[in-house]
Amino acid sequence: MKRRSGILFVLSAPSGAGKTTLCRRLLRGDPALEFSVSHTTRPRRPGERHGRDYWFIGAPEFARRRRRGEFVEWAVVNGITYGTSSRMLRRAAGRGRDLILDVDTQGAASIRRRFPDAVLISILPPGPEALRRRLVGRGTEAAAMLARRLRLARREVGRAGRYDYIVVNDRLNDAFRDLRAIIAAERCRLRRPRRDVEAIRRAFRAARWGRAAGRGRAAGRRR
């Protein structure tokens, strides 16, 4: 029996919506999920590991790979370039591994064009004031950066209708429950494991139980 292809779960959210926390909880609680590790041109920070946190490569190498079309999506954030390898996604899907991808709305659209079966999930805060309080509560946002993040959030929320699912993170436990339910439902969709189902159907059509099996079933019914 052939294994099913892995599913790409693409998560997008405004900064402060709780996406990173939700991703970490999903990965801790579901050993069948893997996190898609991005390539980046930024220097490695203390404690970070190549291939676990990011694939760290130089800007010239990133540019060469981008020109060759190796990235399904890429973006420049504060002068640092990030990208998702198309080959790595296909390899994981071929191994039957389900992946979590953490990208913005533009990156999600690029992934959907290359991988039409990807599942797009938008994580939203319950409202603009709640998001502002969360960002202020971090204690790390200067006024100019806070204003920029809120402007970006308006754009991200405006594009949420393009996603397959929307999860509102008002209460973290409720949002986590909803995300797990989405993942479970997508794994059970017929179009995902169709090859497995067809193999089971063929096996039943080819089965030869004979009369003895029929007597066993009848005896079972009497009991």
Q: How far apart are CA 44 and CA 80, in angstroms?
A: 12
Question: Would you state the pLDDT for residue 40?
Answer: 94
Q: Distance between alpha carbon 69 and the CA centroid of its chain, in Å? A: 21
Contact between 41 and 62 under an 8 Å Cβ cutoff? The reply is yes
Q: Which residue has the higher pLDDT, 97 or 166?
A: 166
Interval 60-85: pLDDT, tens: 999 999 999 999 999 887 688 999 99
Reference 5, options 129, 93, 69; nearest CA is 93
Strand ranges (E), the chain: 8-12, 33-35, 39-40, 55-56, 71-77, 80-85, 98-102, 119-124, 165-168
Interval 126-140: pLDDT, tens: 998 888 888 888 877
Q: How far apart are CA 12 and CA 119, in angstroms?
A: 11
Interval 29-45: pLDDT, tens: 999 899 999 999 999 98
Residue ranges per domain, the chain?
A: 8-189
Residue 157 half-sphere exposure toward CB, CA atoms < 13 A: 18
Question: Would you state the pLDDT for residue 213?
Answer: 52
Residue 167 has pLDDT above 90, yes or no: yes
Task: Specify whether domain 8-189 bears CATH 3.40.50.300.
Answer: yes
The b/e string for 10-27 (b: 16+ C-beta within 10 A; e otherwise) is bbbbbbbbbbeebbebbe
Q: What is the pTM of this model?
A: 0.78
User: Residue 136 carries which side chain, given as an amino acid letter?
Assistant: V
Average pLDDT, the chain: 86
Question: Would you state the pLDDT for residue 210?
Answer: 60
User: What is the band of 222 on the pLDDT scale with cuts at 50, 70, 90?
Assistant: very low
